[in-house]
């Protein structure tokens, strides 16, 4: 069941989505552009609802005006009284946030709001809801949200300050979902499984919220959870369409205190700081506390450390602000080891001259000249702020005991008879005053003791009630502690507490000790060392406060500031923050002499401890000459990177001493017997698992990121010991991190930040912190007073100030916005923003020039024969014109509506199913942009293949089933197929009937093929016929004759089923080829080449699945005869003569001759196309003959002359 609360945020803010709806009329553009006030309507569940509180905190922090409407009632039947939403064309809100779910409300409760959003183009964001099909999402589960979710591309387009990863922390709960098919919804945030945790629904024109973009989050969060911190600025920008009052930055700044002086170092051996004095470290064993010889030496940076840190700044892009104590640069162990620092310079501040006392020789001081010289050489790499000359304590110098009235013994208690001693201390959340002078009292059995005392004195300084009103960052007790001890003993234990009157009206307090409470721990202070020093209470007199002025060092507040000022001026500290101050240990801020000191020294900004004074406040006073001055505090966050731990082993030892429970091992390999010293209290939880460097970094960087991502300009502070190297240390062959603990922490924080953000860190220093906090406070007052109004109309943002004084207003507008023709503000997170001064009774107009952006979906769907309408949406100012290029299906048109939207609508014509890639272009005066849009037209399928499919038993065969329709339909077959055949859907709109019908399956098989897609289905009958197979036989003649040079053909025929294939084996005459015609016949065709006559024995083979048959084929090629011998010959008288006549051709020709041969010669025909003339010539002369060659292929003659000579 969906519950309020939980925590977390996931998503982003999505691009508008393309909405496909039934055919609808596009509303006309309003004649008068609407005017929208820059204000958010927040509908929440009250102060107990974490999501409501998260939204209020985010809006307040940025300075975004909003109206809170609180709902009431049970989930599902909630009601809410909405404020007036509009008047005519004037809308009072440009963004609506329902901190929980709109489904929580009674039906109709939000109908007026729906209409308002639709009419004025206002977006809605649902802060935490169960996935709703009405908004395009279906729940896919529920439970803890873990791991890192990812913003989708549409979300990143709207959240350009982010890179995409959104890590979830423990405690997150949500309802992952999947989009409803075809819904106009765009996922924005997806978990590792690809399920959606945030999405934008574009309401179609048929909805009550027609045209409204509605972003839904389906996970919980509160104001401190990481996903919310990452996403909330972008959500505010999205719901207001990047136009609102208020702005955000991811601020980061780092102070480093105590430069030029050394700091005490932690002792792992004793688990304390032996060198600490005034007071001693209470954690130290007896005899160790206050004895520096028992601990490591004080630590100070080196010249190498300066170079390392300066190089780190270049790498990280972060500049540190160094809070310095110049006395350290002006003190040396000998005259030969002094630094190059100018320690004798002067400066004049408001008429008062301060001169540094020169180099001081102190034999016990370390030789830090190389460090000082290098730091002054590298001074331009850093920002600088005074931390006072000598780190002197600037508060009360002489405390006094808490006054107490005489004790009164009484009855009615449970005290045993005897003597008792009592002390009273005034307690701040951070320490106690000196105890009252111990008083003795004697009581009887079952006795009691009454105590009374006046309000704690403070030497003219602030009262305890006043201090509590200014120091409220801690969780400690403010009031008075009552301690009891047996008479004569100093072993006092706490027996009672009396809270001070926060109104300051009470002048005295009382307490009765009945003995019901056993004595607890003793006082945290002594008569010599009060622990209430920041702030101080119980100052003995007005004269006990450190004076404002004096004439020598280490004797007044102004000397402490002025000497550091002189050092800064005379040593050329180029980035010195004049007029800014961080006192040692933040001391003296409560002092009654501090206002004059700040006025005399021109102090405008002073640092405070944000754990004690998180809110900025002022110290106002007059200088000695009567000039008024107001200084503003810059709260600074401390961390658990301790001032007295210059390396990771010491850091972890001190950390685990503080947080590991008593009796539990700290896991220190050097001192394995050491245990933690933590005692659990209502505000402290101890652990039994020692921290490691990784866990400390994870915890501290998360705290640091919590400030960075909360639009918080407050600085962080650490100490120079945290900048001491080396970076690593190798022990027993193992290298690990060692020094530069602060830089390691910042690196860890920055690496995480850079993995999430494209927007850079906005660096701060103490002065800019005070300025930003001051501007924010002034804006909050102006906003509450209602003296500043802002609205947007047709791209013009008008901000007006009706108040009596100038007001600086935070403004966020889209990129490209101008003021008086010039670019406005600074670019941050994809928008422009700036603190903008608006004079009394004046106004400022900003002109939004936003390049177009197509925000609708890249897909749209329609169906052949059905009317549809899809809205293409774009942002930009002025509203961009929209065009489409590409082929549209018949019956569909694209229309620009003239208001930044266009309508793709119509009734797709028959046969137009398919995919239509279009290019949409949006253009205005600031440019143009294109987006691909694919229109998919669904068409009901039809089976288009033949109605019959023929197969033969024993023969493999296939039959292709084809269809029309879009998208390609799925195919199924029903009916009985013969054994050996099967049907397969090929997944592309075709199917295949295939196989080898078994023997005995001849016959007809009617089956039904069904094609189905999203547009419908259709069926067709296919008659499958199976024919019985028979063996092949060659039936054509076994001999044939062709003639050389004459084109001819011979047909080979065969029988059998399936139709047999034919082939011929044997040599064919040149010019003749054999071809299987594929139908049971073959052809011998061609023109036999010359001289190819002869007989060609061939073997014909007919084959089908049943078997094969052969036949011999005698191919004869006839060739006409030709006489190839010469046409004359010579014979000699009486000499034997023989001459052969030769021919070619097939079959061989028979030769004959006609004419008269000379006597003695004869003509003899041969059997192979030859003849012979032979004998002995007996007559002389020329004898003319005719030679004839004759065969079945033809007859040829040749004149022949025989010459008879001597």
Question: What is the structure's pLDDT at 159?
Answer: 97
**Residues 743-747, mean pLDDT to the nearest whole number:** 98
Residues 565, 430 within the same domain: no
**Residues 1178-1183, mean pLDDT to the nearest whole number:** 86
Question: What is the structure's pLDDT at 4?
Answer: 30
Question: What is the structure's pLDDT at 529?
Answer: 87
Among 15, 542, 510, CA closest to 241? 15
CATH number for the domain that contains residue 1021: 2.60.40.10
Burial class (CB in 10 A: 0-12, 13-18, 19+), 1041: middle
Instruction: Examine residue 329 and state whether it is found in any structural domain, yes or no.
Output: yes
Domain total in the chain: 9
Instruction: Examine residue 367 and state whether it is found in any structural domain, yes or no.
Output: yes
Residues 773, 740 within the same domain: no
**Each residue of 677-722: pLDDT tens digit?**
998 877 788 999 999 999 999 999 999 999 999 999 999 999 999 9
Kindly report the length of the chain.
1206
Residue 347, token pair as written in the block:
């400066």
- Indicate the pLDDT class of residue 898, thresholds 50, 70 and 90: confident
9 has pLDDT over 90: no
- Indicate the pLDDT class of residue 26, thresholds 50, 70 and 90: very low
Mean pLDDT across the chain: 93
Instruction: Examine residue 471 and state whether it is found in any structural domain, yes or no.
Output: no
Q: What is the DSSP string of 4-18?
A: S---------PPP--
Residues 48, 184 within the same domain: yes
Of 521, 543, 565, which residue constitutes the final position of a domain? 543
Instruction: Examine residue 598 and state whether it is found in any structural domain, yes or no.
Output: yes
The strand pairing partners of 1137, in sequence order, are 1175
Say whether 597 sits in a helix, a strand or coil.
helix
Kindly calculate the radius of gyration of the chain based on its CA atoms and give it in whole angstroms.
52
324 has pLDDT over 70: yes
Residue 1086, token pair as written in the block:
């061609």
Of 603, 621, 637, which residue constitutes the final position of a domain? 637
Contact 465, 535 (CB under 8 A): no
Residue at token pair 């209409």 = 115
Instruction: Examine residue 450 and state whether it is found in any structural domain, yes or no.
Output: yes
Residues 1082, 1135 within the same domain: no
Residues 307, 359 within the same domain: yes
**Each residue of 243-298: pLDDT tens digit?**
999 999 999 999 999 999 999 999 999 999 999 987 888 899 988 988 889 999 99
63 has pLDDT over 50: yes
Q: What is the DSSP letter of 495?
A: E
Range of the structural domain that residue 554 is part of: 256-263+298-395+546-637
Instruction: Examine residue 839 and state whether it is found in any structural domain, yes or no.
Output: yes
Spell out the residues 6+ positions from residue 981 whose beta carbon is closer than 8 angstroms to its own: 951, 993, 994, 995, 996, 997, 1024
**Residues 321-345, mean pLDDT to the nearest whole number:** 97
Residues 633, 643 within the same domain: no
Among 850, 814, 871, CA closest to 929? 850
Contact 844, 835 (CB under 8 A): no
Phi (first) and psi of residue 330, to 5 degrees? -115, 20
Contact 769, 607 (CB under 8 A): no
Residue at token pair 């979300």 = 155
Residue 182, token pair as written in the block:
């075809």
For helices 369-377 and 303-316, angle between their N-to-C axes, nearest 10 degrees = 30
> What separation in angstroms does the CA of 388 have from each of 182, 257, 306, 319, 720?
69, 11, 21, 21, 15
Residues 527, 647 within the same domain: no
Q: Residue by residue, what is the 3-state secondary structure of 1114-1142?
A: EEEEEEEEEECCCCEEEEEECCEEEEEEE
Identify the residue with better confidence: 1192 or 565.
565
Rounded distance between C-alpha atoms, residue 1011 and residue 943, angstroms = 7
Question: What is the structure's pLDDT at 1014?
Answer: 85
Dihedral of alpha carbons 535, 540, 546, 547, sign: positive
What percentage of the chain exceeds 90 in pLDDT?
84
11 has pLDDT over 80: no
Residues 1044, 1102 within the same domain: yes
The HSE-up count of residue 790 (CA atoms within 13 Å, CB side) is: 28
Question: What is the structure's pLDDT at 878?
Answer: 76
Contact 618, 773 (CB under 8 A): no
Instruction: Examine residue 131 and state whether it is found in any structural domain, yes or no.
Output: yes
Buried b (16+ CB within 10 A) or exposed e, 247-274: bbbbbbbbbbbbbbbbbbbbbbbbbbbb
**Residues 736-749, mean pLDDT to the nearest whole number:** 97
- If one counts every other C-beta atom within 10 angstroms of the C-beta of residue 923, the result is 17
Among 704, 656, 691, 648, CA closest to 677? 656
Average the pLDDT over each of 9-13, 57-61, 922-926 and give the range with the smallest value.
9-13
Say whether 112 sits in a helix, a strand or coil.
helix
Residues 64, 179 within the same domain: yes
Residues 117, 171 within the same domain: yes
Rounded distance between C-alpha atoms, residue 473 and residue 270, angstroms = 31
- Indicate the pLDDT class of residue 17, thresholds 50, 70 and 90: very low
Average the pLDDT over each of 2-6, 500-504, 549-553, 1177-1181 and give the range with the smallest value.
2-6
Residues 526, 566 within the same domain: no
Instruction: Examine residue 12 and state whether it is found in any structural domain, yes or no.
Output: no
1 has pLDDT over 70: no
**Each residue of 93-117: pLDDT tens digit?**
999 999 999 999 999 999 999 999 9
Decide: pTM greater than 0.85. no
What percentage of the chain exceeds 70 in pLDDT?
97
Identify the residue with better confidence: 472 or 536.
536
**Residues 136-140, mean pLDDT to the nearest whole number:** 97
CATH number for the domain that contains residue 821: 2.60.40
Spell out the residues 6+ positions from residue 1040 whose beta carbon is closer than 8 angstroms to its own: 1050, 1084, 1113, 1114, 1115, 1116
Residue at token pair 């040749």 = 1198
Buried b (16+ CB within 10 A) or exposed e, 38-65: bbbbbbbbeeebbbbbbbbbbbebbbbb
Average the pLDDT over each of 397-406, 563-572, 822-831, 858-867 and give the range with the smallest value.
858-867
**Residues 203-220, mean pLDDT to the nearest whole number:** 94
Residues 1001, 1057 within the same domain: no
User: How far from each other are the two terminal CA atoms of the chain, in whole angstroms?
Assistant: 139
Residue at token pair 């509160």 = 222
CATH number for the domain that contains residue 52: 3.40.50
Say whether 326 sits in a helix, a strand or coil.
helix
Instruction: Please name the residue ranges forming H helices in 486-577.
Output: 557-570
24 has pLDDT over 90: no
Say whether 561 sits in a helix, a strand or coil.
helix
Question: What is the structure's pLDDT at 1058?
Answer: 86
Of 848, 883, 917, which residue constitutes the final position of a domain? 848
């Amino acid at each position: 069941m969906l519950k309020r609360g939980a925590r977390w945020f996931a998503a982003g803010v999505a691009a508008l989505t393309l909405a496909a709806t039934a055919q609808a009329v596009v509303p006309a553009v309003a004649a008068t552009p609407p005017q929208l006030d820059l204000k958010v309507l927040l509908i929440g569940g009250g102060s107990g609802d974490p999501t409501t509180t998260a939204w209020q905190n985010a809006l307040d922090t940025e300075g975004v005006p909003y109206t809170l409407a609180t709902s009431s009632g049970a989930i599902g039947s909630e009601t809410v009284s909405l404020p007036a939403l509009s008047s005519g064309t004037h809308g009072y809100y440009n963004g609506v946030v329902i901190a929980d779910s709109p489904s929580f409300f009674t039906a109709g409760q939000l109908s007026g709001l729906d209409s308002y959003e639709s009419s004025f183009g206002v977006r809605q964001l649902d802060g935490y809801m169960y996935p709703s099909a009405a908004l395009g999402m279906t729940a896919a589960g529920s439970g803890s949200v873990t791991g890192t979710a990812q913003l989708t591309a549409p979300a990143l387009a709207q959240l350009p300050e982010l890179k995409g990863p959104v890590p979830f922390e423990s405690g997150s709960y949500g309802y992952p979902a999947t989009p409803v098919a075809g819904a106009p919804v765009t996922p924005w945030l997806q978990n590792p499984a690809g399920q959606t945790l945030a999405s934008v629904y574009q309401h179609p024109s048929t909805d009550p919220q027609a045209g409204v973009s509605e972003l839904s989050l389906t996970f919980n969060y509160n104001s401190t959870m990481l996903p919310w911190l990452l996403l909330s600025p972008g959500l505010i920008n999205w719901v207001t369409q990047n136009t609102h009052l208020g702005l955000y930055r991811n601020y980061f700044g780092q102070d480093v205190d105590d430069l030029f002086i050394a700091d005490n170092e932690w002792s792992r051996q004793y688990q304390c700081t032996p060198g600490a004095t005034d007071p001693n470290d209470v954690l130290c064993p007896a005899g160790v506390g206050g004895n520096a010889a028992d601990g490591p030496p004080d630590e100070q940076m080196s010249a190498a450390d300066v170079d390392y840190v300066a190089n780190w700044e270049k790498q990280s892009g972060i500049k540190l602000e160094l809070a310095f104590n110049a006395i350290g640069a002006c003190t040396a162990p000998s005259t030969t080891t002094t630094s190059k620092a100018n320690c004798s310079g002067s400066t004049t501040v408001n008429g008062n001259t301060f001169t540094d006392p020169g180099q001081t020789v102190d034999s016990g001081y370390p030789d830090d000249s190389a460090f000082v010289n290098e730091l002054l050489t590298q001074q331009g790499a850093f920002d600088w702020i005074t931390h006072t000359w000598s780190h002197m304590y600037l508060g009360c110098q002489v405390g006094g005991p808490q006054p107490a009235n005489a004790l009164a013994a009484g009855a009615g208690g449970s005290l045993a008879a005897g003597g008792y001693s009592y002390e009273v201390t005034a307690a701040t959340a951070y320490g106690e005053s000196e105890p009252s002078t111990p008083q003795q009292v004697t009581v009887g059995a079952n006795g009691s003791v009454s105590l009374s005392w006046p309000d704690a004195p403070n030497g003219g300084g602030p009262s305890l009630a006043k201090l509590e009103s200014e120091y409220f960052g801690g969780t400690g007790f403010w009031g008075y502690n009552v301690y009891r001890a047996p008479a004569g003993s100093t072993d006092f234990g706490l027996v009672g507490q009396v809270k001070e009157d926060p109104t300051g009206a009470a002048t005295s307090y009382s307490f009765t000790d009945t003995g019901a409470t056993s004595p607890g721990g003793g006082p945290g202070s002594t008569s010599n060392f009060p622990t209430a020093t920041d702030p101080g209470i119980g100052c003995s007199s007005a004269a006990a406060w450190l004076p404002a002025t004096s004439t020598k060092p280490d004797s007044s507040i102004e000397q402490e500031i002025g000497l550091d000022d002189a050092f800064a001026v005379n040593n050329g500290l180029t980035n010195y923050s004049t007029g800014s101050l961080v006192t040692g240990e933040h001391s003296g801020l409560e002092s009654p002499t501090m206002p004059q000191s700040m006025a005399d020294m021109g102090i405008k900004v002073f640092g405070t401890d944000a754990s004690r004074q998180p809110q900025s406040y002022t110290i106002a006073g007059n200088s000695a000459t009567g000039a008024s001055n107001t200084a503003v505090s810059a709260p600074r966050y401390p961390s658990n990177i301790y001032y007295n731990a210059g390396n990771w082993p010491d850091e972890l030892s001190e950390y685990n001493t503080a947080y590991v429970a008593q009796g539990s091992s700290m896991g220190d390999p050097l001192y394995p017997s050491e245990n933690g010293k933590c005692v659990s209290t209502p505000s402290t939880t101890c652990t039994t698992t020692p921290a490691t460097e990784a866990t400390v970094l994870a915890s501290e960087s998360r705290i640091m990121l919590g400030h960075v991502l909360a639009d918080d300009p407050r600085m962080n502070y650490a100490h120079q010991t945290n900048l001491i190297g080396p970076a690593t240390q190798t022990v027993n062959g193992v290298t690990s991190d060692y020094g530069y603990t602060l830089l390691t922490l910042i690196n860890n924080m920055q690496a995480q930040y850079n993995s999430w953000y494209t927007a850079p860190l906005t660096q701060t220093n103490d002065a800019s912190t005070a300025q930003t906090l001051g501007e924010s406070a002034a804006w909050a007052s102006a906003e509450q007073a209602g003296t500043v109004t802002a609205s947007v109309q047709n791209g013009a943002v008008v901000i007006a100030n009706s108040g009596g004084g100038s007001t600086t207003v935070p403004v966020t507008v889209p990129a490209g916005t101008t003021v008086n023709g010039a670019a406005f503000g600074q670019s941050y997170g994809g928008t422009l923003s700036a603190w903008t001064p608006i004079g009394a009774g004046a106004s400022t107009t900003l002109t939004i020039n936003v390049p177009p952006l197509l925000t609708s979906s890249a897909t749209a769907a329609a169906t052949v024969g059905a009317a549809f309408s899809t809205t293409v949406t774009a942002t930009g100012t002025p509203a961009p014109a929209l065009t489409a290029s590409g082929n549209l299906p018949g019956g569909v048109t694209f229309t620009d509506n003239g208001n930044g939207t266009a309508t793709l609508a119509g009734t797709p014509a028959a046969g137009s199913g398919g995919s239509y890639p279009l290019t949409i272009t949006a253009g205005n005066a600031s440019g143009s942009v294109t987006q691909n849009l694919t229109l998919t037209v669904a068409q009901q399928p039809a089976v288009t293949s033949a109605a019959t499919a023929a197969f033969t038993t024993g023969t493999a065969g296939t039959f292709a089933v084809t269809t029309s329709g879009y998208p390609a339909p799925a195919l199924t077959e029903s009916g009985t197929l013969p054994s050996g055949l099967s049907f397969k859907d090929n997944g592309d709109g075709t199917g295949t009937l295939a196989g080898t019908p078994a023997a005995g399956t001849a016959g007809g098989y009617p089956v039904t093929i069904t094609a189905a897609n999203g547009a419908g289905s259709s069926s067709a009958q296919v008659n499958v016929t199976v024919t019985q197979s028979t063996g092949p036989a060659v039936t054509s003649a076994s001999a044939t004759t062709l003639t050389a040079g004459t084109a001819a053909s011979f047909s080979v025929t065969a029988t059998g089923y399936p139709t047999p294939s034919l082939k011929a084996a044997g040599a064919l005459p040149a010019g003749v080829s054999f071809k299987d015609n594929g139908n049971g016949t073959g052809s011998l065709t061609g023109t036999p080449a010359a001289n190819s006559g002869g007989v060609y024995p061939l073997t014909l083979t007919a084959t089908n699945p049943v078997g094969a048959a052969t036949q011999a084929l005698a191919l004869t090629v006839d060739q006409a005869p030709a006489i190839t011998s010469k046409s004359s010959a010579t014979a000699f008288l009486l000499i034997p003569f023989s001459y052969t006549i030769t021919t070619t051709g097939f079959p061989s020709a028979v030769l004959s001759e006609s004419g008269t041969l000379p006597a003695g010669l004869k003509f003899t025909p041969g059997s192979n196309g030859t003849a012979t003339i032979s004998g002995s010539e007996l007559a002389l002369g020329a004898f003319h003959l005719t030679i004839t060659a004759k065969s079945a292929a033809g007859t040829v003659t040749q004149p022949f002359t025989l010459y008879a000579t001597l």
